[in-house]
């Protein structure tokens, strides 16, 4: 069974599917049902977000994955993966919202690792839009070579 080392380049939580790409540009479609998220992650205690789940998150933009059993027709739509496996256990970090434009639906978060992450509305869980100064927790990702806050939860 051929295996490809790729990176998640797109994941649409509302549709439960995404795409991964290897270094040569070969792109593969996958559905969340074939994603193997790995073991449970360690609890992440924080007083302002006491109800955090410790289940592994869905695919994170930029994370490396192993892709197996790619099927598809040449020249057609992107080939489909039958299995996508997470390689590295993701780590959640805390951040403070630097800005968020409700009209443009994006902003920035300063992570506890001193990195400024792009924050897009599509990555915010529970539909709670953040305001500047609010604490959030998220998984650090990468989109088009830039830091991106993924699976963001706005704290109280």
Check whether residue 35 and residue 81 sit in a common domain.
Answer: yes
Domain finish residue from 63, 86, 109: 86
Check whether residue 99 and residue 67 sit in a common domain.
Answer: no
How far apart are alpha carbons 99 and 101 in whole angstroms? 7
Check whether residue 76 and residue 19 sit in a common domain.
Answer: yes
Check whether residue 137 and residue 78 sit in a common domain.
Answer: no
How far apart are alpha carbons 60 and 48 in whole angstroms? 23
Range of the domain at 59: 3-86
φ/ψ of residue 57, rounded to 5 = -75, 165
Look at residue 42 in the predicted model and tell me its pLDDT: 66
- Tokens 């650090």 belong to 140
Check whether residue 7 and residue 82 sit in a common domain.
Answer: yes
Check whether residue 52 and residue 100 sit in a common domain.
Answer: no
Largest CA distance in the chain: 52
DSSP conformational letter for 32: G
* CB-facing half-sphere around the CA of 154: CA atoms within 13 A: 18
Give CA 150 to chain center in angstroms. Answer: 4
- Tokens 């970090």 belong to 93
Check whether residue 74 and residue 98 sit in a common domain.
Answer: no
Check whether residue 50 and residue 118 sit in a common domain.
Answer: no
Check whether residue 51 and residue 73 sit in a common domain.
Answer: yes
Look at residue 14 in the predicted model and tell me its pLDDT: 84
Residue 33 sits in a domain whose CATH number is 2.40.50.140
Domain finish residue from 69, 86, 103: 86
Check whether residue 102 and residue 63 sit in a common domain.
Answer: no
Please state the domain count of the chain.
Answer: 2
Look at residue 104 in the predicted model and tell me its pLDDT: 93
Please give the C-alpha separations between residue 26 and each of 34, 43, 85, 116, in angstroms, as whole numbers: 19, 36, 17, 30
φ/ψ of residue 127, rounded to 5 = 70, 10
How far apart are alpha carbons 62 and 6 in whole angstroms? 9
Check whether residue 10 and residue 68 sit in a common domain.
Answer: yes
Domain finish residue from 32, 54, 86: 86
Entry pTM: 0.86
Check whether residue 60 and residue 114 sit in a common domain.
Answer: no
Look at residue 108 in the predicted model and tell me its pLDDT: 98
| pLDDT tens digits, one per residue of 38-58 | 876 666 656 667 556 557 889
Residues of the chain with pLDDT under 50: none
Residues 6 or more apart whose CB falls under 8 angstroms from that of 76 comprise none
């Amino acid at each position: 069974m051929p295996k490809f080392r790729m990176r998640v380049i797109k994941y649409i939580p509302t549709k439960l599917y995404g795409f991964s790409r290897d270094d040569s540009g070969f792109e593969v479609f996958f559905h969340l049902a074939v994603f193997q998220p790995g073991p449970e992650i360690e609890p992440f205690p924080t007083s302002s977000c006491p109800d955090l789940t410790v289940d592994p998150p869905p695919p994170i933009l930029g994370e490396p994955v192993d892709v197996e059993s790619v099927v598809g027709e040449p020249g057609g739509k992107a080939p489909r993966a039958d299995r996508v496996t997470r390689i590295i256990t993701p780590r959640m970090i805390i951040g403070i919202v630097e800005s968020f434009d409700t009209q443009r639906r994006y902003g920035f978060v300063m992570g506890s690792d001193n990195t400024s992450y792009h924050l897009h509305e599509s990555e915010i869980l529970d539909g709670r839009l953040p305001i500047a100064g609010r604490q959030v927790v998220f998984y650090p990702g990468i989109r088009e070579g830039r830091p991106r806050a993924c699976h963001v939860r706005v704290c109280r």
